[in-house]
Amino acid sequence: MLNPLATTALMTALDEHRVITDHSTREIYSHDETPKYCLPLAVVFPRSHDEVVAIMRIAIEYGIVLIARGAGSGNVGGALPSPQSIVVSFECMNQILEYHPEDRYIVVQTGVITAEIDRIAREHGLFYPPDPGSAAYSRIGGNLAMNAAGPRAVKYGVTRDYVMGLRAVTGAGNSINSGCRTSKGVMGYDLTRLLVGSEGTLALITEATLKLLPLPEARATLRVCYASNADACRAVSRVMNQAVIPCALEFMDRFSIQAIQAAGSATDLPAGTQALLMVEADGVASDLPRQIDALQTALAGTGLLDLQVATDKAAIAALWIARKALSHAVKNIAPLKINEDVVVPVSRLAELVIHIEYLAQSYDLPIVSFGHAGNGNLHVNIMVDPIDTNQMQRAKHALHALFSEVLALGGTLTGEHGVGSEKRPYVTMEIDADSLALMRLIKQQFDPHQLLNPDKLLPAQI
């Protein structure tokens, strides 16, 4: 139970109705997209930076752990409560503070829904490029915490690339303003990008200044079928080795295709299709035919079975339905998906998918792979039944083998999901001991009482 003095202090700082301790509400905030669960002591809903400062100071006074939470749509337990913690939900911090279309930036509270930023930008012919699959409901604070990305990252980059400045409350209860409102600025250490991707372990980010770009006037989508995973991945390498950078380059393997077909999508694929690429180009309308030509040339090669181009809105939407249905469709294959998020240099992608096929055979496991192939970023889903202990054991070994191969190919273990609680055991496979020691020291400076999401990102210390 939460210390009654702390409860009173929080209720004084925030108003009673934004400090929730009833069981059913705490249940809602007890998990994210991972299958894990931990009931928090309370959930608080600040409305302003100053209220977040107040919460942090109360947490320090009573020694209570705080878990920052946007929509709870993360894949790695980043927003999973720790035992005896309070969840700080940013859902009520949903104000657009400033919008300067003439200077292409917007200042928002971090509880604003990601897609809302994009929607507002579009009112002035701009857009907000990062587009995680969760954009319709995720909060920008969660995107910042995890350095979220999505299909458009292949051309436009990730959340980090669109953050000009932040306002935040450190674990010491101090307010900091980082960055600037201009497209250049080199004053002091880059605290902005240190906070982006820090998963709520260094500070509670309350406000963000985000860069916007001019909205491309037209787009075109290509759906391309291949006879094998490796054929499709070699086409990805060819596409990423010529000058037209697509604004999406998504890959789906055979199992992904089966899953979406079972759900009624993409039933028109030619026989023998074992892999699918979805490729999108954007730009000025007059230049799109040239882009499509160049992409078609790069996509042509061994194993190409079919290539369809859509340029009008309805046809583009129809082609994308399959990809959008995928995450949910995959869940029907087995009770649990162990959802990985590895990345390799694009030229090594074919080697990676061949290795994954080998792992699926060797460990006798269904492995469904799809993802942002243009970035070399593959979502590798090992499908398991958690009550089958033998299968779970095989999955564990397969995972380790997968990670070793990814690193051997010059890759990284997570491209956009982050570490959270789920990947903590694997951090030391990738990050050297001295870098990790520095990260721990940095954490200690920002969060001297170890109250901010303490069981995330950095490996547990034994």
Nearer residue to a second copy within complex by CB, 229 or 237: 237
Stretch that binds a second copy, among 14-22, 64-72, 145-153, 250-258 (CB under 8 A): 145-153
Nearest distance from C-beta of residue 370 to a second copy, angstroms: 15
Q: Does the footprint of a second copy cover residue 146 (CB under 8 A)?
A: yes
The count of chain residues that interact with a second copy, using the rule CB under 8 A, is 90
Nearer residue to a second copy within complex by CB, 206 or 273: 206
Nearest distance from C-beta of residue 301 to a second copy, angstroms: 15
Q: Work out which of 17, 23, 189, 462 binds a second copy, going by CB under 8 A.
A: 189
Nearest distance from C-beta of residue 226 to a second copy, angstroms: 19
Nearest distance from C-beta of residue 182 to a second copy, angstroms: 4
| Residue 150 tokens, joined | 């999505």
- Of residues 352-391, those binding a second copy (CB under 8 A): 372, 375-377
Nearer residue to a second copy within complex by CB, 119 or 290: 290
- Of residues 75-94, those binding a second copy (CB under 8 A): none
Stretch that binds a second copy, among 5-13, 33-41, 209-217, 354-362 (CB under 8 A): 209-217
Q: Bridge-partner residues for 339, per DSSP?
A: 381
Q: Does the footprint of a second copy cover residue 457 (CB under 8 A)?
A: yes
Q: Does the footprint of a second copy cover residue 134 (CB under 8 A)?
A: no
Q: Does the footprint of a second copy cover residue 452 (CB under 8 A)?
A: no
- Of residues 221-280, those binding a second copy (CB under 8 A): 237, 240-243, 245
- Of residues 92-131, those binding a second copy (CB under 8 A): 100-105, 125
Q: Work out which of 48, 95, 261, 347 binds a second copy, going by CB under 8 A.
A: 347
Nearer residue to a second copy within complex by CB, 183 or 393: 183
Nearer residue to a second copy within complex by CB, 19 or 416: 416
Q: Does the footprint of a second copy cover residue 297 (CB under 8 A)?
A: no
| Secondary structure in 3-state letters for the chain | CCCHHHHHHHHHHHCHHHEECCHHHHHHCCCCCCCCCCCCCEEECCCCHHHHHHHHHHHHHHCCEEEEECCCCCCCCCCCCCCCEEEEECCCCCCEEEEEHHHCEEEEECCCEHHHHHHHHHCCCEECCCCCCCCCCCEHHHHHHHCCCCCCHHHHCCHHHHEEEEEEEECCCCEEEEECCCCCCCCCCCHHHHHCCCCCCCEEEEEEEEECEECCCEEEEEEEEECCHHHHHHHHHHHCCCCCCCCEEEEEEHHHHHHHHHCCCCCCCCCCCCEEEEEEEEECHHHHHHHHHHHHHHHCCCCEEEEEEECCHHHHHHHHHHHHHHHHHHCCCCCEEEEEEEECCHHHHHHHHHHHHHHHHHCCCCEEEEEEHHHCEEEEEEEECCCCHHHHHHHHHHHHHHHHHHHHCCCECECCCCCCCCCHHHHHHHCCHHHHHHHHHHHHHHCCCCCECCCCCCCCCC
Q: Does the footprint of a second copy cover residue 147 (CB under 8 A)?
A: yes
Q: Does the footprint of a second copy cover residue 8 (CB under 8 A)?
A: no
Nearest distance from C-beta of residue 186 to a second copy, angstroms: 5
Stretch that binds a second copy, among 115-123, 128-136, 225-233, 438-446 (CB under 8 A): 438-446
- Of residues 397-436, those binding a second copy (CB under 8 A): 410-419, 423, 427, 430-432, 434-436
- Of residues 307-346, those binding a second copy (CB under 8 A): 343-346
Q: Work out which of 60, 92, 180, 325 binds a second copy, going by CB under 8 A.
A: 180
